Amino acid sequence: MRDGLFALPHEPVEVAPGAVHVPGWLSVERQRELVAACREWALGPVPMRHTVLPGGGVMSVRTVCLGWHWQPYRYTRTAGDVNGARVARFPDWLADLGREALVAAYGGGGGGGGGGGAGEYAPDTALINFYDGAARMGMHQDKEERSAAPVVSLSIGDSCVFRFGNTATRNRPYTDVELVSGDLFVFGGPSRFAFHGVPKVRPGTADPAVGLASGRLNITLRETGLPG
Ligand code: SIN
Ligand code: FE2
């Protein structure tokens, strides 16, 4: 399997065991629909905002959540660090999209999953991050979830460098993957708790047809493992 310049649309590329990049997975039409939905979610009930870290730092991405509200470093139903409102519900159609994504990445079996096959995947939260040209995300693990089910990541708008590392350290070895608008990336199985980050966004690379004038949207779907 190949990646980078030679990646073919829809051909899954295994970046690490359980970590799969599917270039060009979302049609332009689906990207447009997701952009429109994100515009609505960004307005509230909890508005999209820069997350403030416990040490006082401010994340450069802007974030809005569905289903459960992520704040460093836990999930809550209400956004006590924003306006106290309950987050918007996680729509069924987005869970369907998550299951489709697992089939695209792993095939019909349970490969990479933290248990059952794609049909059992039941994401109950989405983190929607918006990157302007200067935003980035440092190397981190998605580990507030009490579930080993895969994380499904959808990218729309400007391209970025997505750095996908290992479970032991935030440093090398890692692989830099170019994520382009419409790309799917799934990390589960042995890679579920790998460090990853976004060292660079490439301003001006988005296709205006997807409905984003500038910047990059990333949507991650996760199972929190928390009681519904
Ligand atoms: C994240 O790690 O939550 C976001 C990754 C990305 O923006 O591609
Ligand atoms: Fe993450």
Is 174 a member of any domain?
A: yes
Spell 158-196 as b/e; 16+ CB within 10 A means b. Answer: bbbebbbbbeeebeeebbebbbbbbbbbbbbbebbbbbb
Average pLDDT of every residue of the chain: 94
Please state the domain count of the chain: 1
pLDDT per residue as tens digits for the range 2-26: 455 666 778 999 999 999 999 999 9
Is 64 a member of any domain?
A: yes
Q: Mean pLDDT throughout 154-177? A: 98
Identify which of 183, 177, 219 has the alpha carbon closest to the alpha carbon of residue 196.
177
User: Picking from 8-12, 78-82, 99-103, 135-139, which range would have the lowest pLDDT averaged per residue?
Assistant: 8-12
Strands (E), the chain: 13-16, 19-22, 49-52, 58-66, 69-71, 74-76, 125-131, 137-140, 151-157, 159-164, 175-179, 184-187, 196-202, 216-222
Q: Are 206 and 47 in contact, with CB atoms under 8 Å apart?
A: no
Closest ligand to C-alpha of residue 178 is 1
pLDDT per residue as tens digits for the range 35-79: 999 999 999 999 999 999 999 999 999 999 999 999 999 999 999
Sign of torsion, CA 162 26 11 145? Answer: positive
Is 228 a member of any domain?
A: no
Residue nearest to atom 7 of ligand 1 (CA): 218
Helical H segments across the chain, by residue range: 28-43, 92-106
Q: State how far the Cα of 48 lies from the Cα of 38, in Å rounded to an integer.
A: 10
Q: State how far the Cα of 61 lies from the Cα of 133, in Å rounded to an integer.
A: 10
Is 29 a member of any domain?
A: yes
Nearby residues of 60 by Cβ (< 8 Å), 6 or more positions away: 50, 131, 132, 134, 135, 136, 137
Residue nearest to atom 2 of ligand 1 (CA): 197
Q: Helix (H, G, I), strand (E, B), or coil: what is residue 20?
A: strand
Is 215 a member of any domain?
A: yes
**pLDDT value of residue 8:** 73
Residue 183, domain extent: 12-222
Ligand 1 within 6 A of CB of 159: no
Residue type, 175: T
Is 3 a member of any domain?
A: no
Q: State how far the Cα of 70 lies from the Cα of 68, in Å rounded to an integer.
A: 6
Nearby residues of 129 by Cβ (< 8 Å), 6 or more positions away: 61, 62, 63, 137, 217, 218, 219, 220
Could you tell me what percent of the chain has a pLDDT over 70?
93
Residue type, 217: L
Ligand 1 within 6 A of CB of 153: yes
Question: Both tokens of residue 137?
Answer: 């995300």
CATH number at residue 30: 2.60.120.590
Ligand 1 within 6 A of CB of 162: yes
Ligand 1 within 6 A of CB of 218: yes
Is 139 a member of any domain?
A: yes
142 has a pLDDT exceeding 90? yes
Is 4 a member of any domain?
A: no
**pLDDT value of residue 1:** 45
Q: Mean pLDDT throughout 163-182? A: 98
User: Picking from 19-28, 89-98, 104-113, 196-205, which range would have the lowest pLDDT averaged per residue?
Assistant: 104-113
pTM: 0.95
